[in-house]
Amino acid sequence: MLVFKTIDETRKFVSQARELDQTIGFVPTMGALHPGHLELMRRAKKENDLLVVSIFVNPIQFNNATDLKKYPRVLFKDLEMLKTIDCDAVFVPSVKEMYPEPINKTFDFGPLENVMEGAFRPGHFNGVAIVVEKLFEIVEPHKAYFGEKDFQQLAIIKSLVEMERIPVEIVPCAIVREKDGLAMSSRNVRLSPEERAMAPRIFKVLKEVAGKAGEMDPVLLQQWGMKQLQAEEAFDVEYFQIAEDATLQTIVNWQIGQGALAFVALKLGQVRLIDNIRINS
């Protein structure tokens, strides 16, 4: 496995691969890899000739300095994990390598960025879009793989690719869960044993909400779900929303053919967790 710290080395590797007509599957990450990441990577490796991964804790997508400081950084362990899945190259740039100068670019994703994560984390998606665009420009992947746990991020990235006409196929990948239903996340390692025991309740409520969709209208169902989450003292709920998959706007009436999901973000102790579930109304 090749490990590149610079943009130049990475570009050289991918341009050689492209000259040989090899396809590149790319999985961008912020490290602290878990089995959910590995699932994306195995798929990328299976569907392409080469697997390229990036590990970069992108400071400009954090709207909270403590969250950035506490974000787990375990590069040595990550590299060991990558070796087990036959990764071809990993790009691990420094902040200076990625951002030699301050960046002032502002994207406009319209209503997609004003709800849920966008409303609670100002500037977050702009930071994500800046880094993803730059990574795509460096790695020039044929396909890039993103987990559906960050469903709104996925929508933003699809919109970015369309807006900037970036020639890459975005491949959404299903959420990978622990046996007890907790969505896998790099942040889970920061949960105390008591918080970790509590966390699967999030998915249980989501499943209950999905199960009730046939019998309740979306506004009442949203209120019901919120109440279940707020009933848990340990949960500091930021939002619980039932929204349309394409627009991410709140659903007020079920409509035939419309895709719906329930989305949640909450703090459990110091750790912010998000999750979602598809609803078949």
For residues 249 and 253, what is the distance between their CA atoms, to the nearest angstrom?
Answer: 12
Q: Binding ligand PAF by CB under 6 A: which of 87, 112, 132, 210?
A: 132
Beta partners for 4?
91
3-class SS string, 143-177: EEEEEHHHHHHHHHHHHHHHHCCCCCEEEEECCCE
Non-local CB neighbours of 65 within 8 Å, separated by 6+ positions: none
Among 52, 53, 128, 242, binds ligand PAF (CB under 6 A): 128
User: Which CB sits closer to ligand PAF, 128 or 213?
Assistant: 128
Q: What is the largest CA-CA distance in the chain?
A: 58
Total of chain residues touching ligand PAF, rule CB under 6 A: 10
Does 126 bind ligand PAF (CB under 6 A)? Our answer is no
Nearer Cβ to ligand PAF (48/61)? 61
- Using DSSP, state whether 67 is helix, strand or coil: helix
Name the nearest CA neighbour of 154 among 130, 176, 134, 132. 132
Kindly state whether residue 199 participates in binding ligand PAF, applying the rule CB under 6 A: no
Report the SS3 class of residue 274. Answer: strand
Q: Is 188 in the site for ligand PAF (CB under 6 A)?
A: no
Contact 128, 136 (CB under 8 A): no
CA 192 to centroid of chain Cα atoms? 23
Minimum Å gap between C-beta 56 and ligand PAF is: 6
Binding ligand PAF (rule: CB under 6 A), the pick from 7, 10, 25, 29 is: 29
Identify whether the C-beta of residue 190 lies closer than 8 Å to the C-beta of residue 270: yes
Whether 34 sits among the annotated catalytic residues: the reply is: no
Out of 34, 37, 124, 142, pick the active-site residue: 37
Q: What angle do CA 9, 15, 20 make, to 5 degrees?
A: 130
Residue 58 within binding range of ligand PAF, rule CB under 6 A: yes
Q: Which of these segments, 24-32, 67-75, 100-108, 265-273, binds ligand PAF (CB under 6 A)?
A: 24-32
Q: Are the C-beta atoms of 241 and 224 separated by less than 8 Å?
A: no
Is 152 or 222 the residue whose CB approaches ligand PAF more closely? Answer: 152
By CB under 6 A, residue 131 contacts ligand PAF: yes
Residue 58 or 222 having the CB closest to ligand PAF = 58
Tokens of 35: 């089995």
Residue 28, interface with ligand PAF (CB under 6 A)? Answer: yes
- CB of residue 278 to ligand PAF, shortest distance in Å: 20
Binding mask 146-175 for ligand PAF (x = CB under 6 A): ----x--x----------------------
The DSSP 8-state label assigned to residue 260 in this structure reads: E
Q: Per CB under 6 A, which region of 28-36, 106-114, 202-210, 250-258 contacts ligand PAF?
A: 28-36
In this complex, which beta carbon is closest to ligand PAF, that of residue 135 or of residue 279? Answer: 135
Looking from the CA of 54 toward its CB, the CA atoms found within 13 Å total 29
Which residues participate in catalysis according to the annotation? 37
* Chain contacts with ligand PAF (rule: CB under 6 A): 28-30, 58, 61, 128, 131-132, 150, 153
